[in-house]
Amino acid sequence: MTEAYVALEGGHVLEGRGRASGTARGEIVFTTAYTGYEESLTDPSYEEQILTFSYPLIGNYGVREERFEDDRVHPRAVLAKELTEDVVDWLASEDVPAVDHLDTREVVTDIRDGGAMKCGIAVGEDVTEEDALAELEQCKAMSDHTDIGAQVSVDESVVHGEANDGETVALIDCGAKGSIVDSLLERDATVHVFPYDATVADVEAVGPDVLFISNGPGDPVNFGQAISLVEAFVEDTPVAGICLGQQIVAEALGGSTEKMTFGHRGVNQPVLDLESGQVVMTTQNHGYTVAEPGEHLEVTQINVNDDTPEGIDGIEYDVITRQYHPEANPGPEDTLDFFDDVLAMASGRADAQAVPADD
Ligand SMILES: NC(=O)CC[C@H](N)C(=O)O
């Protein structure tokens, strides 16, 4: 049997069954999602993280590329109670270490108590506990990945849906999921995808109807150029954001963000809309949150479990952002109307008051 060791910050080492060999280090997190492993594993927001599935069986409906959110696997390693051959083959082909037959209840309990933490992993025929501890030793804190955007963004701008006659969206790719672009294209938008460090002049050149900041990995304060874009555009151009995008918008407009203990990762996070009183189910994957929205923004939706901000609107500016993933890949489709609201805001057809689906 291939050996597998998982070393957690503080020195706790767990043993499992090695399924795909290699060494890895990263911030260990868990998701409670029971489906959507292809989407999660290709979500760029998981860059530099090690993903633990708390659901015990992962891979039971195979692996299909059309469900991928990006062209590669982003977590540095994958842990589960039981991984199917399909998933293991896929991870092995991408050189991503995989471990199963692990007591994931123990891993999740450690993360819940200690927070998302540094982790080192060693999988292979002759690896030892020391190899995993050596990886842990070299693991950086997530906030120290100061140029993580470069690892996940497009290198050059690209345009999708040029023939569409809807709104023109400038999407700042901080690690955007493919289904965000798809959701906008389906609504007839033209989407200019820009690198995470695009300049004001780059974006201005396409005359956007809305500046849209994507999801992405790591600490929002490490996306200084995207923060500057929001500051530069917000007075004259509507602004939208998803997940990291919400955090960047808050940082730009006088609010603040902070790291959560273990974050929200799963496909059934309940969100309350404060105006309508409706609760919707959402897909989430984040470890930071908006702490204070600041004087230009108001919180319109909150997480039912812990009251953290899930939706934010501009007070005097046209701004709408979501902390969850309205594009719903994977996950419930309760929140797809966010894209209609963003494009209505972009066209001046509506103000920024977004409400969840009304059934
Ligand atoms: N999905 C995301 O955009 C994640 C945002 C950010 N990296 C966080 O962990 O909070």
The predicted-structure confidence for 23-44, as pLDDT tens digits, reads as follows: 999 999 999 999 999 999 999 9
Q: SS3 for 25? A: strand
Same domain, yes or no: 206 and 328: yes
- State yes or no: is 101 an active-site residue: no
Q: Is 69 a catalytic residue?
A: no
- Tell whether ligand 1 has an atom less than 6 A from the beta carbon of residue 283: no
Whether 357 is in a domain gets the answer no
Helix, strand, coil percentages for the chain (3-state, nearest 5): 25, 35, 40
Q: How confident is the model at residue 350 (pLDDT cuts 50, 70, 90)?
A: low
Look at residue 354 and tell me if it is in a domain: no
Q: What is the pLDDT of residues 190-246, one digit of tens each?
A: 999 999 999 999 999 999 999 999 999 999 999 999 999 999 999 999 999 999 999
Same domain membership, residue 237 and residue 206: yes
Query: If you ran DSSP here, which 8-state letter would residue 140 be given?
Result: P
Are residues 303 and 154 located together in one domain of the fold? yes
Does residue 200 share a domain with residue 338?
A: yes
* Closest atom of ligand 1 to CA, residue 325: 1
Query: What local confidence, expressed as pLDDT, does residue 354 receive?
Result: 45
What is the percentage of the chain residues whose pLDDT exceeds 90? 96
Question: What pLDDT does residue 295 have?
Answer: 97
127 lies in the same domain as 153: no
Asked if residue 301 belongs to a domain, the reply is yes
Residues 131 and 104 in one domain: yes
Pick the last residue of a domain from 70, 105, 140: 140
Which domain CATH number covers 274? 3.40.50.880
Tell whether 293 and 274 lie within a shared domain: yes
With a 6 Å cutoff on the Cβ, whether 216 touches ligand 1 is yes
Across all residues in the chain, what is the average pLDDT?
Answer: 96
| 327 counts as catalytic | yes
Q: Are residues 242 and 267 in the same domain?
A: yes
Tell me: do 162 and 17 sit in the same domain.
Answer: no
Residue 2's pLDDT is 87
- DSSP tag of 143: G
pLDDT tens per residue across span 258-305: 999 999 999 999 999 999 999 999 999 999 999 999 999 999 999 999
Distance from Cα 133 to the centre of ligand 1, integer Å: 27
Above 70 in pLDDT, residue 171? yes
Q: What is the pLDDT of residue 331?
A: 84
pLDDT band at 1 (very low <50, low <70, confident <90, very high): low
Return the H-helix or E-strand segment holding 84: none
The binding site for L-glutamine consists of 45, 216, 218, 244, 247, 285, 287-288
Q: Report pLDDT digits (tens) over 77-136.
A: 999 999 999 999 999 999 999 999 999 999 999 999 999 999 999 999 999 999 999 999
Distance 242 CA to ligand 1 centre (A): 9
Catalytic residue among 48, 243, 251, 286: 243
Question: Which DSSP symbol is given to 32?
Answer: -
Q: Is residue 353 part of a domain?
A: no
Give the predicted TM-score (pTM) of the model: 0.96
What are the structure tokens assigned to 106, written together?
A: 């123990």
Q: Are residues 117 and 196 in the same domain?
A: no
Q: Is residue 358 part of a domain?
A: no
User: Is 355 among the domain residues?
Assistant: no
Strand order in the sheet with 190-195: 158-160, 190-195, 168-173, 210-213, 239-242, 319-322, 309-314, 297-303, 256-273, 279-292
Last residue of one domain, picked from the residues 77, 106, 140: 140
Residue 22 within any structural domain of the chain:
yes
Give a yes or no: residue 118 inside a domain: yes
122 and 266 belong to one structural domain: no
Q: Which among 140, 171, 191 is the end of a domain? A: 140
CB atoms within 10 A of CB 28: 31
Ligand 1 centroid–CA 173 distance in Å is 13
Q: Tell me the three state secondary structure of residue 79.
A: strand
Give the residue numbers spanning the domain of 294: 149-347
Structural domain count of the chain: 2
Spatial neighbors of 153 by CB under 8 A, at least 6 apart, are 173, 174, 175, 195, 196, 197, 216
Q: Is the pLDDT of residue 146 over 80?
A: yes
